Structure 1
Amino acid sequence: MAEALHDVARIAHAELLTPKPDESLRFFVEIMGMEVEAEEGGSVYLRGWGDYLRYSLKLTEAAQPGLGHMALRAWSPEALERRVEAIEATGLGQGWTDGDVGHGPAYRFTDPDGHALELFYEAERYVPPEHLRPSWRNQPQRYVGRGAAVKRLDHVNVLAADVRTNRTFVQEVLGYRLYERIELDDGTETGAWLSLSIAAHELIYVKDAYGASGRLHHLAFWVDTREECLRAADLFVDNGVYIEAAPSKHAVAAGFFLYGYEPGGNRIEVTTGGYFVYDPDYEPVTWTAAERARGQFWGVHTIESFHTYGTPPVEPPA
């Protein structure tokens, strides 16, 4: 068994594209409870109250919804150099940028499906203004309790034309560990739940029902309790937010969930729960089509749009 890579620490932030920037911003500030950390150009940078870096969400005006890019932070400058060399060897590298708000130079690349990623090390820690200064030094920000009061970006779920190829890429090049996967009877891999840490999932690849590439399934934001997920559902209802899947518990990865669409059309999850993996030789769980047909953990069957909808939207094949 090859020794695991430990050069990449975590997903630092994700950029979400929206054709309705004002409405999407109101959603993330008033309903999700995030704070505006910075504004630059056509983008607003937002944070949850538990984010230790300056932000975890970059919201950018665009013609269509979707994922602008996903940013990963390396463990060290040396780790960054090693991963850049490995990425360049795949032919998927795009080169260096000067960085963005809150972080230094970043190396841009794509996964085999065409999702845009960047990798950096230098980053600014969050320094709260006086009105958000916490009572205890081990908290990055005061808890204000506005809206759903999401704590941080938890995971990113992307759609892919070929799950296995992308899963293998992030394992071999970036050091992700595979914890759970779905494989059909014909050997097709239709889902992979991966992580850089002990968390059961931080990056998910799911097969695109339409065979398209580079699309987003959802961004997920963490809260500490199931009750907070239920409260978020009440807030969605009272604010006219479309709920695609009401609160329940996943079978895969065992997380508690609420799914809705933000005004720009992107699917958003409020999540908690799941499990941690401490074993160095953990054997990934492989689910069959028959097992997945049972539905979610408590037998709730998944709505069809959860398997087909992604951003940007595409026309179903004839």
Structure 2
Amino acid sequence: MSTEPMHDIAHLGHLELLTNKMAESAAFFIDVMGMTVSGREGNSLYLRGWDDYERYSLKLTESSTTGMGHVAFRTWSQQALERRVKALERTGLGIGWTDGDLGHGRSYRFHDPDGHVVELYYDTEYFKPEPDQKPYLKNQAQRYPARGINVRRIDHFNCFASDIRANREFFEQNLGFRLTEQIVLDDGSEAGMWMTATNKSYDFAYTKEAHGVRGRFHHVTYAVDSRDDVLRAADIFMENGVHIETGPHKHGVQQTLFLYVYEPAGNRVEVANAGARLILAPDWKPIVWTEAERKRGQAWGLKTIESFHTHGTPPLPADLKKGVSE
């Protein structure tokens, strides 16, 4: 008998990004990415894409290091939150309850098997636009800012992990995420996973950390409406002196058109026309990519740039940096 699917996670809510160059990082997200400030508290700045329905989707926090502070998912209900907390506490990876943060209520934090900090919450604050932000279209969260790239919403994130299989099973068994695509190497080990709690083809991905270092961050992705917007983003990045790591190009896995850059502190950021593929089948069978298929490169044959497999935040420890393009 098959297990009834678990539908307690509603969607990706927000991500906290750590920066040791606060002023420069803030300018990047506001002026280049076109995001809107929706709050300030302590050493953190809260930012949003123009159609994020919650108050913010990015918490930018001043720090002595870089990487992901935490990532947060909203549950379908308070009862769903409590069910997931009970399951997570049995894993021994729970951190505990918090009193919440700007824009949302109590939350529960835990580690995944690789040490990343993940948060679940339900009570939230919808974004309320100021008069000069109020859109003409009532079903739109905010007036189009017409500034920089004008990213629309948070789409997904990617973390490095030292053990992909352990993380996949953790998110499947304790949180109900579905695997949509994965990379399995010739030796049977898993090198990448793409998982969803929604009808999007993925809400997050984990890819193999090449050095066995736990808890590193790969990138956060903001969505724009079309491929043309991704191409325009490339022009805007260049006009603002932002180095493009790779792209615009098309991924083989999940088929998004992508463009990767580093924000001033070194965290990787992606702009993509995400959401083109939807997973509507309740009995979806995960797509498995082989080692040989991945060696073909991206969708149109472009070899994946080496830094994509090695550059992450925080930087590698000094004893591992030698000979590695970071």
Instruction: Please indicate, yes or no, whether the TM-score normalized by the shorter chain is above 0.5.
Output: yes
What code does the residue aligned with 2:12 have? I
* CA offsets 1:135-182 (integer angstroms, 9 cap, x no match): 021111001221000011100100000011001101111111100000
Q: Secondary structure of the equivalent of 2:229?
A: helix
**Equivalent residue runs for 1:190-269 within 5 Å:** 190-269=191-270
SS at match of 1:147: coil
Once residues 113 and 251 of structure 1 are traced to their aligned partners in structure 2, the CA distance between those partners, rounded to angstroms, is 26
Distance 1:182 1:144 in 2: 38
- CA deviation profile, 1:202-227 (whole Å, cap 9, x unmatched): 11010101111111000000000011
Rounded Cα–Cα distance in structure 1 between residues aligned with 2:321 and 2:268: 21
Q: 5+ residue gaps in structure 2?
A: none
Of 306, 309, 312 in structure 2, the residue corresponding to residue 307 of structure 1 is 309
Partner residue in 2 for 1:11: 12
1:278 and 2:280 are equivalent in the alignment: yes
Q: Which residue of 1 aligns with 2:86?
A: 85
- Residue 34 of structure 1 corresponds to 35
TM-score (norm 1): 0.98
- Distance of 2:6 and 2:22 partners within structure 1: 38
Q: CA deviation at 1:2?
A: 1.8
SS at structure 2 position matched to 1:300: coil
- Cα distance in 1 for partners of 2:234, 2:288 equals 31
SS in 1 for 2:61: strand
Query: What's 1:146 paired with?
Result: 147
Q: Matched residues in 2 for 1:242 and 1:170: separation?
A: 34
Give the Å deviation of 1:77.
Answer: 0.7
Percent identity of equivalent pairs? 53
Paired with 2:257 and 2:172, the residues of 1 have a C-alpha distance of 26
- The answer to whether structure 1 residue 295 and structure 2 residue 302 are counterparts is no
Task: Tell me how far 1:91 sits from its aligned partner.
Answer: 0.5
Return the offset for 1:201. 1.2
- In the alignment, which residue of structure 1 is the partner of 2:62? 61
Counterpart CA distance in 2 for 1:247 and 1:133 is 32
- Partner deviation per Cα, 1:186-243 (whole Å, 9 max, x = no partner): 0110000001111111110101011111110000000000111111111111111111
Alignment match, 1:112: 113
- 1:11 shift after superposition: 1.1
Q: Deviations over 1:242-284 (max 9, x none)?
A: 1100201000000110000000100000011441110010100
Q: Distance in 2 between matches of 1:143 and 1:105?
A: 31
- d(CA) in 2 for partners of 1:67, 1:301: 27
Deviations 1:41-60 (A, max 9, x none): 00000000010000000000
Contact 1:175 1:196 (C-alpha < 8 Å) held by counterparts: yes
Cα distance per residue 1:53-104 (max 9 Å; x no partner): 0000000011111000001111001001100000001011111110000000
1:215·1:311 contact (CA, 8 Å) conserved in 2? yes
Aligned residue pair count: 318
Equivalent residue for 1:123?
124
Q: Label 1:317 to 1:239 Cα distance change in 2 as closer, same or farther (>3 A).
A: closer
Structure 1 unaligned segments of length 5 or more: list them.
Answer: none
Which whole-Å CA distance do the structure 2 matches of 1:265 and 1:65 have between them?
7
Alignment partners' CA distance in 1, 2:154 and 2:256: 14
Instruction: Indicate the SS of the match to 1:127.
Output: coil
Question: How far 1:317 moved relative to its partner?
Answer: 6.9
Question: How many angstroms apart in 2 are the aligned matches of 1:317 and 1:144?
Answer: 40
In 2: Cα distance, 1:130 partner to 1:224 partner: 25
Provide the C-alpha distance between the structure 1 equivalents of 2:3 and 2:135, rounded to a whole number of angstroms: 43
How many angstroms apart in 2 are the aligned matches of 1:48 and 1:317? 35
Q: Partners in 2 of 1:221 and 1:290 — Cα distance?
A: 30
Q: 2:247, 2:122 → 1: CA distance?
A: 38
